[in-house]
Chains A and B, each alone.
Chain A
């Protein structure tokens, strides 16, 4: 077999497919989204029988996969780390009930964070829920660990966590794949009633808890002798050693090579339960032990004696942010020097760094794409309700509405609705009169917005909720939602769930759908919605801003292009650049005027309203003016 390039998430996907996993569920979230997409790709390529689905949320995904495991099939669920919070209820319960078929929980952590609201460590959630964790350090190792994790899960009858991080998920690595020639038959398994586990009452749960703790003691001893945990460079006589796991292990090994130093390393592949026997053997004879792991202290927390340990808990390793090569190199250089180990000093680049700092290079924050209908909706909101209104927002591309000052809060999936609800209730007590205008995406609404909406309607809250319906889960790579006909495998056999019907069923009396590209009509509907929210018999009003994501379906823009020109009168006041923030509207190099960047402009014409002085005009009109 020739070598291939696989992304970390694809490597995990290949591992799942080859391990005979039969049910894989997920909710999209960076950095995990390519795991399910990879499973779909490989199951088609290799002709495997696997149920794959983008579930409505992570709790749903977890339970659907868990049920498959209870029948005896191998199953897995993937999500980003904060998705595991959503699925934590079944996670904790499933540790007690146990599983039948191997069951993998794959939450992708995001040290940095790059695309998340927290830097939480899923390994600590596993520690709290009491399930074993495997912590791969590279895509190739992640692939290999999938099979071991299934075996472990079946031996113990427990869910097992495989925990990658962003830099593994999005790493590319060359590897040789050797898929089995043909699919194995699906195991002949059926759900078997098992009241001692599947319906265990609190009294039985106490016994299951005891069993769980015993299983963990046994697996800890097994991990002591497992090749997943390896002592490297045993020949070194240095009195300082390193314990590392995950990507931090690879980064640290490179840093030690760059520093020209060889020290004993204990590579941990099973951070929970920590193989304490092996750790004890390793630290014997060492004066100092550095611990490097991401994104938080999990191994370090379990070390019985931390007097000689340098890590996050004593402040030797930064307590927030990614363990970048620079950070790891710096930590190791400092500790080694303090321990009297001579190191290769890094080359000095302070002159270059100072010169670059003096250039004050423009920083590029993420922005909504050219032609994004969210921008049109946000711009209309701001023009209608102004800066004094309160704008609860949510998680998705449209979180970037904060750039446009049209998102004032975001907490977690679905919180736009509950924050508006709570702000209304708190405001009532003090006579708050500012309009409350919440925004949430279609996928996020389906994920976690429905129960909050029922709560708000039921308890009499009053606000406007704008559902920004772009027909997809855009931020994470255009995954389908339950409102559309597409399934994860690309077929269009899904039953579409109507968002307006759902909203009406939640008891909302005012429900309108309108294209935010039609800014005049959109603003008129916003006014009507707000009036409804304030009327004596009114309540929550829901406006559905209906237009497909331009990345998903640019056809209607392409069919009706509106080419704009910026007239000679443009005085470079920057209003459009800041209030509308389309990447295709750029200040000229001398900052005297604004130009259209034709390379990225998609001719949506939405910026015409963004110049209150009327200097952004359709090109057709401009040519008429010139001709006149």
Chain B
């Protein structure tokens, strides 16, 4: 049956009201069901949604506490770099973040990041989404990118099923965005590792 599963998979999603943090949370929660894991998540509603900072927590396959404690999340998905940086303390040592950004994070973070063995992968998710025909699908692009990382545990077929279930008329666009995100990260990693392979 392959490797034994870790008991929990924990994800934090950071963004600004209106960027689809709640939608992304629903996708991952629904995918967890298709994957056969119990899920507890927590969303932000109300006043904060009016353009404020929004943070979602997901705990797959474990306890019932709705919020993750700082220092415990496996993966951070950031639809805005500044919001993602603010949420970095949620990552466990060795955790990995994916952020929508055309550039990169501030260089002064290099040492603090390596002190906790954290990695931030920036990718131009919005541009990738726009190329696919929907600027609103940047959140799905980020999910796709994360799903290409070896630490990501939710299987692709479960993700695709969840995207199809929740996207309505945007299903095709969102599935393309998911694949585009996956390809973008997978190919960037391939480039990084090519010299070693050679």
Contacts and interface: CB of A to CB of B under 8 A. Distances in A.
Contacts of A257: 63
A553 to B, nearest CB: 18
A7 B53 CA distance: 21
B146 interface: no
A349 B65 contact: no
B32 interface: yes
B38 interface: yes
A254 B64 CA distance: 8
B71 A172 contact: no
A298 interface: no
A247 B66 contact: yes
Interface stretch (B111-119, B148-156, B168-176, B184-192): B111-119
Interface residues of B, number: 55
Contacts of B82: 361-362
B158 interface: no
A325 B118 CA distance: 21
* Most central of B18, B66, B118 by chain A CB within 10 Å: B66
A366 B17 CA distance: 9
Contact of A359 (B29, B37, B85): B85
A529 interface: no
A138 B39 CA distance: 12
Contact of A3 (B33, B69, B118): B33
B1 interface: no
Given A31-B45, A251-B65, A254-B69, A172 B52 contact: no
Nearest to A358: B108
A188 interface: no
B180 interface: no
Contact of A31 (B18, B46, B72): B46
B116 A352 contact: yes
B47 A138 contact: no
A352 B95 CA distance: 13
Contacts of B25: 172
Interface string B98-113: 0000000010110111
A347 B93 contact: yes
Interface string A1-28: 0111101000000000000000000000
Which secondary structure characterizes the binding site on chain B?
mixed
A599 B135 contact: yes
B167 interface: no
Interface in B37-80: 37-53, 63-72
Contacts of A171: 40-43, 66
Contacts of A174: 29, 32-33, 37-40
Nearest to B108: A355
A247 B93 CA distance: 26
Contact of A167 (B38, B42, B86): B42
A168 interface: yes
Contacts of B38: 3, 173-174
B71 A355 contact: no
B50 A359 contact: no
A366 B52 contact: yes
A4 B33 contact: yes
B56 to A, nearest CB: 9
A4 B50 CA distance: 28
B47 A366 contact: yes
A2 B126 CA distance: 35
Interface residues of A, number: 60
B43 A172 contact: yes
A527 interface: no
A130 to B, nearest CB: 31
Contacts of B42: 167, 170-172
B123 interface: no
Nearest to A328: B69
Contacts of A172: 25-26, 29, 39-43
Nearest to A353: B89
Interface in A129-171: 137-138, 140, 167-168, 170-171
A111 to B, nearest CB: 12
B66 A168 contact: yes
Interface in A19-51: 30-31, 33
Nearest to A80: B46
Interface in A306-356: 324-326, 329, 346-347, 349, 351-356
A397 interface: yes
Nearest to A169: B45
* Most central of A172, A255, A329, A351 by chain B CB within 10 Å: A172
A250 B65 CA distance: 5
A218 B89 CA distance: 49
B67 A251 contact: yes
A359 B89 contact: no
A302 interface: no
B51 A366 contact: yes
Nearest to B109: A355
A325 B85 contact: no
B147 interface: no
B145 interface: no
B108 A359 contact: yes
A336 B118 CA distance: 30
Nearest to B112: A355
B52 to A, nearest CB: 4
Nearest to A400: B50
A366 B33 CA distance: 33
Contacts of A599: 126, 135
A347 B91 CA distance: 11
A475 interface: yes
B141 interface: no
A138 B65 CA distance: 8
Contacts of A30: 45-47
A115 interface: yes
Contacts of A326: 69-70
Given A5-B30, A115-B47, A138-B40, A356 B66 contact: no
User: Nearest 5 pairs between A and B by C-beta?
Assistant: A30-B46, A325-B69, A115-B46, A355-B112, A254-B65
Given A326-B70, A352-B112, A361-B82, 15 more contacts: A30-B46, A168-B66, A172-B40, A254-B63, A254-B69, A324-B69, A352-B89, A352-B113, A359-B108, A361-B85, A363-B53, A365-B52, A368-B50, A368-B51, A369-B50
25 contacts: A2-B33, A5-B33, A5-B39, A114-B44, A114-B48, A138-B40, A172-B25, A172-B40, A172-B43, A174-B29, A247-B66, A253-B65, A254-B65, A324-B67, A326-B69, A329-B69, A352-B112, A352-B113, A356-B86, A358-B108, A364-B53, A366-B52, A475-B50, A477-B45, A599-B126
